[in-house]
Amino acid sequence: MGVEEQVRNLVVGALTDLAGSGVLPSEVTSVTFSVERPKRPEHGDLATNAALAVQKAAKKPPREIATLLAERLGKEPDIRAVEIAGPGFLNLRLAPAIYQRVLGDVTAAGPAFGRGPAGLGERVLVEFVSANPTGPLLISHGRGAILGDAVATLLEATGHRVTREYYINDFGNQIRLLAASVLAVALGREPPEGGYGKNDYLEDLVAWLQKTSPELIADDKVEELARVCVSRMLDGVPGSKALPGIKKTLASLRIQFDGWYSEESLHRWGRVNAALAELQTRGYLEEREGALFFKSTDEGDDKDRVVKKRDGYFTYFASDIAYHADKINRGYDRLVNVLGADHHGYTARVRGALAALGLPKERFEVVLYQLVNLLRDGKPYKMGKRLGNLVTIEEVVDEIDEAARRKGAGADALRYFYLARRSDTTIDLDIELAKKASMDNPVFYLQYGYARLCSILRRAQEKFGLQVPRHTPALAARLEHPDELAILGRLGRFPAIVAEASALREPHRILFYLQELSQDFQSYFTRLKKDGDTILPLDAQMAEAGWQETWDRPKSEARLLWIEAIRTVYGAGLKLAGITALERMHKLEGEAVAAEAELGFGAEDAEGDPQPQASKKEAEAS
């Protein structure tokens, strides 16, 4: 339980005591109030507005209520001091024990710390990516893919039963144009109007078709050819770098879908006609100038929407109506769509259609994300090796992997850059920055923070034979440094951060938390070195006779347990973001030597890779 939650319970207990003794009415126990850190540290560790929040129910002035609460709270062993401020705020100074208890909570939960009980929440369907299967996934698609996966992961972490689904737009004019474009490349024709010109991935697709299904090209079987083309877009052309397949690309970002839903199947099984027939019966369809309109303005949309064009073809929106109705009919409590910012009007449109069908429109929500600007050395970068002015996810991931000499480095970089900002802000993704093995690269810095904790634990074992001890209250009581207590307070807030990020669909909150945790530890580490109060004995100290007698071994053990708790929470946060928790890191680039030394790493070896090297003096400081 976090420090804030512990204090909240103490305040609730005080209100309950006051109500039980007749000093305050019983209604005060059901009032909501806040417990938060003051903006200025000198005002205390935590503050609460409880006295102001309950004044109406209590029918007393807030300062009088604050005085009553202060008297009760002042008797609690976890509260060192209570001060009344302003109209009735309570500033609280806390005893170390309230922080130290967090260590036991983290240790007991392990990697599950921060997660809610599984399976007790809603059944949620998260639909994301759903890019037209007419080419490889581009770097712009990557943001929706990673954001959608992170939102789904957060929902799972807070107890919801989540299904990840990709909606395959395999019906309509766009797919017919793809097949016609393939035929044009194969037969040396001009591409159809609005189609796809000759490029690497179409040439690879044509070569594969000529080898495996030449009859589809020879006989101009457009419909059958279109279905085969869609399957190759999803599964890829064997050996093709230009067309590895949407599924493989997503897997390279560590994204796996539970379901792939075909738009064509909605028409084949009559679900679109059934949905439109229901709307017709309910009076929501109207024919105008040969087209069929859904009267979405009746449900709050800004204009009515075409569902069937004059040429008899259905619109995408007609499929969407049937698709989202089917989602609810499959028993989902919540439908979350992750879409680009250009879909800002989509929520009202779909909700209107669901309401018109008599379905609960409040179950549907949309998470919007802004564009990605690709940069190289801070300048716009628009050229791709395979697609002219289009850059694929493969290109960027492969380039970063190669620079880092580690498979997965590209996925880590994209996940960081796409999740480190609010989804409603535009992202500048600098390829050269993402490739750097230096503190300038924020994903490198983030992973370095985790590796550093691992390095300290390894050194403790290898040099002193110290394992991370089992938690005991007595051991936790050895953690008295203000920074140690403050970091325990931050660890205790992790479950609330996860719950908030999940509820608001804002994965960036997890990365903000990890950045602050890493900075807190760095500040602590630097302060210890200045004070000569190191986590483990220095080499110079060990050179003196009888150094074991002066070494406070229990204190070192307590700090190792504390570091293990930080590592546990840090790793849990990285896992939520889908970023690799590296226990060892590659050697820093030359311009980051000073930052490397500041981190205090000792020499490491991992499968022959070069590792961070610090000076003997700096290595001792760990």
Q: Which pLDDT belongs to residue 437?
A: 82
pLDDT of 588 reads: 54
Q: Which residues pair with 84 in a beta bridge?
A: 90
Closest CA to 224 of 239, 234, 235, 214: 214
Structure tokens at 97: 């024990």
Tokens of 232: 């190759």
Instruction: Say what the pLDDT of residue 613 is.
Output: 35
Q: Quick one: tokens of 230?
A: 């869609």
The tokens 């009267």 sit on which residue? 295
The sign of the dihedral angle between the CA atoms of 278, 284, 287, 293 is negative
- pLDDT score, position 120: 86
Contact 283, 232 (CB under 8 A): no
pLDDT digits (tens, 9 = 90+) for 263-299: 999 999 999 999 999 999 999 999 999 999 999 998 8
Residue type, 354: L
Which neighbouring-strand residues pair with 305?
A: 294
Q: Cα–Cα distances in Å, from 35 out to 115, 501, 544?
A: 22, 19, 49
State the pLDDT at residue 382: 65
Could you tell me the two tokens for 49? Answer: 């507005």
Measured CA to CA, the distance from residue 506 to residue 367 in angstroms comes to 9
DSSP string covering 98-147? HHHHHHHHHHHHGGGTTPPPTT-S-EEEEE-----SSSPPBHHHHHHHHH
Nearest to 317 by CA among 286, 282, 289, 353: 353
Predicted confidence (pLDDT) per residue in 127-156, tens digit: 999 999 999 999 999 999 999 999 999 999
Cβ contact 53:63 at 8 Å: no
Distance, CA of 467 to CA of 470 (rounded, Å): 9
pLDDT value at position 592?
39
Would you report the helix, strand and coil content of the chain in percent, each value rounded to 5?
55, 15, 35
pLDDT of residue 621: 37
Residue 315 to residue 522: CA distance in whole angstroms: 56
pLDDT of residue 609: 31
pLDDT along the chain (622 residues), means of 10: 93 95 93 92 92 94 96 95 94 96 96 90 97 93 97 97 97 92 92 87 94 86 91 95 95 97 96 97 95 92 93 94 98 97 90 96 96 85 56 92 92 96 93 87 93 93 91 94 96 96 98 96 87 80 81 92 98 98 73 38 32 35 36
